[in-house]
Amino acid sequence: MDTTILIIIIVALLIVAVGTSGYFQFREQQKAERRQNFSKFNYRAREGQELYDRFHELPIGADTRKVILQYIAVNLTKALQVEPGANELKNTLNEIQQRIESPALPADKQRLRPPSDPQELVVLMGRVKSLVRYIHKIGRMPGIDIGAASNGLNNLKRVYLNLQTQTYIAIGKKKVSEKAFPQAFIAFDNAKKLLLRQNIADDETQATLQELERLMQETKQQRQPVDPSVDAEHNEEESLDLGDSDDLFQPKKKW
């Protein structure tokens, strides 16, 4: 009888031990999942903030900034749902929500002033294209204003087109300085074609167009007569892929 009771007690203790161990493992697993989710949402919020800061001085538009801020707010909210006691995130979220109400910055009221160096222009184009991809990716997520995302993309594409134009002009001027007049003429001609796709009623656009006409005329006078096949070869060699073939910059269906 005593042996039977002892066995029952041992079995009961084993069951309790196994149950307790399983319970603590389950709790640890839950904590690990919470930490993982918190880190994920916090990382996304910081990623959005870093992107926002990188374009602080560029006229990317209030709608683009609003979308980025909303994405930050969405992820901060999710992070706080996981860790409600994260007071620092609460303060950051309040600040972000205030910015969403008035997202425009002084830079958005200014015209883009691109650098004169072609390489710097290409780098800036790459940054803008990356931003277009980012807005395109997050624009339809829950909590994001889809209208602001659409308007932001349209504005960014205008900025990108302007940068392409300025890049060809800078390349053309560089080729003129190198006395590579056929290549310079091609670059100026590409810039003119892009410029005519923009708002040509704008005074600054008109001024740029007149400058291009002058540069093309001067360059044309400097060009040496070349064999048509050689000229075609120059055209093929000098046609620059500045990113306008990207499918993100082709006509899209309405949002």
Read off the pTM. Answer: 0.76
For residue 28, what pLDDT is reported? 64
For residue 107, what pLDDT is reported? 92
Residue 226 has pLDDT above 70, yes or no: no
For residue 230, what pLDDT is reported? 43
Contact between 104 and 62 (Cβ < 8 Å)? yes
Round to whole Å and give the CA distance between 98 and 219.
53
For residue 27, what pLDDT is reported? 67
Residue 253 has pLDDT above 70, yes or no: no
DSSP state string for the chain:
-HHHHHHHHHHHHHHHHHHHHHHHHHHHHHHHHHHHHHHHHHHHHHHHHHHHHHTTTS---HHHHHHHHHHHHHHHHHHHHH-TT-HHHHHHHHHHHHHHHS---GGGGS-----SSHHHHHHHHHHHHHHHHHHHHHTTSTTS-HHHHHHHHHHHHHHHHHHHHHHHHHHHHHHHHTT-HHHHHHHHHHHHHHHTTS-TTSHHHHHHHHHHHHHHHHHHHHPPP--HHHHHHHHHHH----STTSGGGS-----
The string of pLDDT tens digits covering residues 17-66 is 666 766 666 566 666 788 888 899 999 999 999 999 999 999 999 999 99
For residue 49, what pLDDT is reported? 95
